[in-house]
Structure formats: structure tokens, C-alpha cells
């Protein structure tokens, strides 16, 4: 199939990037993996783009006994891969903003020390900038830390300065624990102060779903049951669980990927047009959409949802162990590393249009995309010439690793009078906006600092998503709920295929994505 590369001219670029207010960030779990891999590099990039205020500081907190200098060294390593690199003077200005205190998160004295350190930093700046507390911690500590921040009076926002709390996922393990966690946090922080992260919402191309749908008039009239046959969303990973066996084995793909990242994408693709781009308008529409999702059918078993687990296999020529052989995974674990499901949205727009969703680890390659398959032409007028069937038009929103949008359509090929072929019209972000791709955490940290909650998950959204999968979680807790096994490196497996094939459709092959 041939590709057509459109030449995109950004003749009318309308960019709105809010200037940062005076703000400092306190990172709990500062020496952890997330902080090194994502948060500090994101802050480094924001600094480089001039999007951190002059009063900015990053105060790391952790149990390890580091000095400010130790933490600065960690930060220096974390920003090494930033490209283009920070200059030497930028680097030293940036690292000078880093400070560290250690302590036990359960000990009230630690919060006294934190309070004192923040007061000293304020004194140095000559003002009290806004504060963002980032919980980059095991979820079991979210309640303890929020409560202790509250008891120490560190939760207060005032007219002149704000206090916000960023909470990493997972927000609870099911509906009951999410409600309990929220009840605890909201004793000390208001909903306007709580920023629940789903990093998928910070990805450029995920945000582009809204722009694509609502800043163009040509697609929205087709975006409904009259013209769309079905939608497939794939989040395939070639990585396994890395060193996270302890967390993952108690979580599984349903909690780790499906309830948050996957359902967030469903919301953006399927929601009604919000009245404006204002945070609450968008979040209201997401919630409306979630309310329209039909509860999953568990009987007959596998009608709507299939779970899988990788066995040993090979990825890119490398042998990899079975999930059950990974460190910190229980013997004979039934935890799913793959979920495929069929979902229905019971509303006017989507009645009868299936959404097929799948996510899995240790698949043949890393790729995330949304494929919208339109209905086939109602009548094939080329039958007399032997052309019985024409493929449907497919619109692909490519989320990663390629970022862009492709449209597959039929066109005449040169030569014989009746010669039709499928062409792909392809827009690739990297080619058009090469230097401008930003990591999701950059967007999300900046949004939190400027007080924009659009890309963060509101509590009613969290509750609805857990409510949707609660019955699956309980069913899967039964001992006999063994997953189907697929070899690491596979694209799919028979039971996942069965879920879509029974409707006369098939998954887009991962190898062709
Ligand atoms: C995280 C999950 O939220 O998302 C991980 O906990 C997963 O298991 C990761 O690997 C995938 O994110 P990305 O941005 O690499 O697609």
C-alpha cells in the first residue's frame, strides 16, 4: 500500500501556553524511579522552556538520608538525556533549585521539619510561592501523607498562594477502596486542590483527539452509529513488568491500564462536544459518557472480556521468561497481563457500535492507537468488473511510538480503467513538529502549577470507572479464574481473537500498526 505524505503548513498556529505562577514543588518519594525517569526530566524541560517561575524550587522528600548535594547529583543524572541539553549555566541554575529532607512519612516530626524548611525557602525567596505536593509513593501511603500534611497545616490555600496535591495512580484498588481513600484525602484537601494523574491524558496525541474532533467540521458529522462500524483501541507493550512484580501481581492489567488509560481514551473518542474547552465542561462530558457505558456481561463467561497472561517466549530475538517466573510474582499467579474487551455505549450516538479494547504486556511490539472503522459503501458499483468487496475507510489516531493520524481510503490506481487500491494519507507529528514534542509529565506538571484540572481525573470519574469493573475484579478473584496463556512476543491469541471474530470482525494486526 502506498503512503501519501501531506505537506502540512502551520499557517495559522494558535498557541496558548499559560505563564507559570510562582510555585515550588515538594516531591514525596524523590529518589524513586518515577521521580528520576519522569518528574525531574520534565521539570528540566520546563525550566529550559522558561516555564518555571523565578521562585521555583523542588524539595525532595524521602526515607533515604541524602544531603541537598546528593539530591542535586541525582537530579543532574536525571536531566542528562534532555535533548537539546541544558547549557552549563542553565544546569547549575536549575540544580540550585533542588533541596532535600529525609524522614519517616508516619512521623509528625517529619512534617514539622518540612514546614520549617518550606518557611526557610519562602524567606530566601522573599515571598510564599504556591506549593504542589507530589505523592510519588506506594499508594498505601497516600492517606498517611495527606492526613499528616493536613494536621501540620500544610494543606491551606490562601488568596495569595495555593496548595495543590498530585496523586499518582492507582487511586484505590476497587470502588470501595477508592471511596475510602478519597474520604480520607478530602478531609484535608478540597476537590479543587486534588490532581489525580492519568499520564495518558498528558500525551500530545491523546489531547489531539479533542482538537481533531471538535476543531474540524468534517469529521464530527460522521462520528456516530450511522457511519462508524466499530472502534478498536490497542495499547500494546513489548516490555514485561520490569522490577515491579510486587505491585503488578496484586494489580494486573485491568487495574494498571484498563480502568484508567484505556477508559480515558474511550471517553475522549466517544464523548459529546463540551460547551467549551473549560476544565469542568470537558470533565462533565467524560462523566456523562462513563454513565452511558453498559455494564460488562460476565455470563456467558468471556462474552465481553478475556484475560491473558504471558508465558515464556521471544521478543526481538531475546528469550524472555514467563510472567509466573518473574521476580516477586506469586507461584501459579492468575494475574492478567492482557485484557481484551468489547464495550457498548448506550446512548443516542453510539447505540450498536462496538468498541473493542485490548492492552497487554510482552506483545510483539509497543504501539498505541485508536482505529475508527467506517461502514462500507452501501452498494459496490464495480461488481460487473469483478470487484465484489471494497475495504472500509479507516481513520487511525496513532498515539505512540509514531504520533499522528492516518486515513485509509480507496482511489483509482494508474493503468487499467478499473483498478482500485487502498492508499494511506499520513500525518506524522515528528515530521511536522520535530522539535516540539513534549513528555506527558511536562504538560501535567505545568497544568497543575497553573491550576488547570482538565487533564486530571475528577472523583466522580474515578468512581464510575471502578464501578464498571468491580464485578469483573470480584469474578477474577475466584480461584478457578485462570487466564489464557499467550507466548511472550505474540500479537494476539485465539481467545482474544474469538471476542471480536464472533461479531464477524478482526483485530488490526499489531505487526501492521
Ligand atoms: C503505567 C503502567 O501507568 O503506564 C505501566 O503502570 C505501563 O505498567 C505504563 O507500562 C505505560 O505507559 P506508556 O506511557 O509507556 O505507554
Check residue 388 and give its pLDDT: 84
C-alpha cell at 476: 477474577
Residue bearing cell 475528577: 458
Is the CB of residue 289 less than 8 Å from the CB of residue 227? no
Q: Where in the chain is the domain with CATH 3.30.360.10?
A: 201-437+456-512
> Residue 327, SS3?
coil
**Residue-by-residue DSSP string for 276-301:** SS-HHHHHHHHHHHHHHBPPPP-SST
Query: How many whole angstroms from its chain centre is CA 164?
Result: 21
> Residue 160, SS3?
coil
Q: What spacing in Å lies between the alpha carbon of 27 and ligand 1's midpoint?
A: 20
Pocket of ligand 1, candidates 199, 248, 252: which has the most ligand atoms within 8 Å of its Cβ, to mutate?
A: 199
Kindly tell me the burial class for residue 363, based on how many C-beta atoms sit within 10 Å of its own C-beta (0-12, 13-18, 19 or more).
Answer: buried
Please provide the CATH number assigned to the domain covering 201-437+456-512.
3.30.360.10
Closest by Cα among 368, 315, 363, 309 to 339: 309
Check residue 11 and give its pLDDT: 52
Q: What spacing in Å lies between the alpha carbon of 311 and ligand 1's midpoint?
A: 20
DSSP 8-state secondary structure symbol assigned to residue 254: I
> End-to-end distance of the chain based on CA atoms, in angstroms?
13
Q: Does residue 369 line the site of ligand 1, with CB under 6 A?
A: no
> Residue 370, SS3?
strand
Nearest CA to ligand 1 atom 5: 256
Torsion of CA 505, 508, 509, 511, to 10 degrees: 170
> Residue 494, SS3?
helix
Q: Is 261 a catalytic residue?
A: yes
Q: What spacing in Å lies between the alpha carbon of 399 and ligand 1's midpoint?
A: 13
**Residue-by-residue DSSP string for 198-230:** -GGGGSHHHHHHHHHHHS-SSSGGGSSTTTEEE
Question: In this structure, what are the phi and psi dihedrals at residue 47, rounded to the nearest 5 degrees?
Answer: -60, -45
Is the CB of residue 48 less than 8 Å from the CB of residue 82? yes
Query: How many whole angstroms from its chain centre is CA 96?
Result: 31
C-alpha 309/C-alpha 481 separation (Å) is: 12
pLDDT 10s digits, 444-458? 999 999 999 999 999
Torsion of CA 483, 484, 490, 496, to 10 degrees: -100
Considering 261, 281, 438, 484, which one is annotated as catalytic? Answer: 261
C-alpha 135/C-alpha 169 separation (Å) is: 10
Is the CB of residue 221 less than 8 Å from the CB of residue 273? no
Q: What spacing in Å lies between the alpha carbon of 384 and ligand 1's midpoint?
A: 51
Q: Does residue 22 line the site of ligand 1, with CB under 6 A?
A: no
Q: Does residue 237 line the site of ligand 1, with CB under 6 A?
A: yes
C-alpha 357/C-alpha 293 separation (Å) is: 13
Instruction: State how beta strands 420-428 and 318-320 pair.
Output: unpaired
C-alpha 60/C-alpha 76 separation (Å) is: 14
Is the CB of residue 305 less than 8 Å from the CB of residue 252? no
Which residues are CB-contacts of 272 (< 8 A; sequence separation ≥ 6)?
285, 288, 289, 349
Check residue 68 and give its pLDDT: 96
Q: Where in the chain is the domain with CATH 3.40.50.720?
A: 23-170
Q: Which residues of the chain have pLDDT under 50?
A: none
Residue bearing cell 475510602: 180
C-alpha 404/C-alpha 388 separation (Å) is: 32
C-alpha 175/C-alpha 333 separation (Å) is: 23
Name the CATH architecture for the domain at 23-170: 3-Layer(aba) Sandwich (3.40)
C-alpha 412/C-alpha 421 separation (Å) is: 6
Looking from the CA of residue 248, the nearest atom of ligand 1 is: 8
Amino acid at each position: 500500500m502506498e503512503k501519501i505524505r501531506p505537506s502540512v503548513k502551520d499557517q495559522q498556529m494558535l498557541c496558548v501556553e499559560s505563564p507559570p505562577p510562582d510555585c515550588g514543588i515538594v516531591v514525596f518519594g524523590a529518589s524513586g524511579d518515577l521521580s528520576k525517569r519522569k518528574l525531574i526530566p520534565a521539570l528540566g524541560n520546563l525550566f529550559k522552556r522558561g516555564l518555571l517561575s523565578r521562585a521555583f524550587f523542588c524539595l525532595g522528600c524521602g526515607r533515604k538520608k541524602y544531603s541537598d548535594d546528593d539530591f542535586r547529583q541525582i537530579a543532574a543524572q536525571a536531566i542528562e538525556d534532555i535533548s537539546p541539553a541544558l547549557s552549563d549555566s542553565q544546569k547549575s541554575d536549575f540544580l540550585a533549585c533542588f533541596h532535600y529532607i529525609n524522614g519517616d512519612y508516619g512521623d509528625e516530626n517529619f512534617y514539622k521539619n518540612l514546614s520549617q524548611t518550606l518557611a526557610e525557602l519562602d524567606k530566601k525567596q522573599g515571598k510564599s510561592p504556591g506549593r504542589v505536593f507530589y505523592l510519588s509513593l506506594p499508594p498505601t501511603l497516600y492517606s498517611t501523607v495527606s492526613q499528616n500534611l493536613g494536621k501540620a497545616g500544610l494543606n491551606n490555600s490562601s488568596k495569595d498562594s495555593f496548595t495543590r496535591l498530585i496523586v499518582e495512580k492507582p487511586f484505590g484498588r476497587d470502588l470501595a477502596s477508592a471511596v475510602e481513600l478519597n474520604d480520607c484525602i478530602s478531609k484535608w484537601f478540597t476537590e479543587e486542590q486534588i490532581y489525580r494523574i492519568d499520564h495518558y491524558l498528558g500525551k500530545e496525541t491523546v489531547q489531539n483527539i479533542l482538537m481533531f474532533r471538535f476543531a474540524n467540521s468534517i469529521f464530527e458529522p460522521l462520528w456516530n452509529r450511522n457511519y462508524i462500524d466499530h472502534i478498536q483501541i490497542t495499547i500494546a507493550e513489548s516490555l514485561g513488568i520490569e522490577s515491579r512484580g510486587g505491585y503488578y501481581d496484586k494489580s494486573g492489567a485491568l487495574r494498571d491500564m484498563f480502568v484508567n488509560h484505556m477508559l480515558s481514551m474511550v471517553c475522549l473518542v466517544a464523548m459529546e462536544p463540551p460547551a467549551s474547552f473549560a476544565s469542568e465542561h470537558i470533565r462533565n462530558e467524560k462523566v456523562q459518557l462513563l454513565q452511558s457505558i453498559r455494564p460488562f456481561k460476565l455470563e456467558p463467561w468471556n462474552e465481553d472480556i478475556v484475560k491473558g497472561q504471558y508465558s515464556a517466549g521471544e521478543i526481538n530475538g531475546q528469550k524472555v521468561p514467563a510472567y509466573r517466573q518473574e521476580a516477586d510474582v506469586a507461584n501459579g499467579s492468575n494475574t492478567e497481563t492482557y485484557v481484551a474487551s468489547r464495550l457498548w455505549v448506550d446512548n443516542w450516538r453510539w447505540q450498536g457500535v462496538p468498541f473493542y479494547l485490548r492492552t497487554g504486556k510482552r506483545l510483539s511490539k509497543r504501539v498505541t492507537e485508536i482505529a475508527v472503522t467506517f461502514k462500507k459503501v452501501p452498494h459496490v458499483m464495480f461488481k460487473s468488473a469483478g470487484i465484489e468487496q471494497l475495504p472500509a475507510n479507516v481513520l487511525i489516531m496513532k498515539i505512540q511510538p509514531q504520533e499522528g493520524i492516518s486515513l485509509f481510503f480507496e482511489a483509482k490506481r494508474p493503468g487499467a480503467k478499473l483498478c482500485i487500491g487502498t492508499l494511506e494519507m499520513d500525518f506524522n507529528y515528528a515530521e511536522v513538529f520535530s522539535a516540539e514534542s513534549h513528555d506527558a509529565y511536562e504538560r501535567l506538571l505545568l497544568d497543575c502549577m497553573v491550576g488547570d484540572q482538565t487533564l486530571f481525573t475528577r472523583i466522580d470519574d474515578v468512581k464510575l470507572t471502578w464501578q464498571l469493573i468491580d464485578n469483573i475484579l470480584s469474578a477474577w478473584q475466584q480461584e478457578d479464574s485462570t487466564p489464557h496463556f499467550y507466548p511472550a512476543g505474540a500479537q494476539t491469541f485465539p481467545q482474544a481473537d474469538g471476542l471480536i471474530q464472533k461479531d464477524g470482525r478482526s483485530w488490526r494486526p499489531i505487526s501492521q500498526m
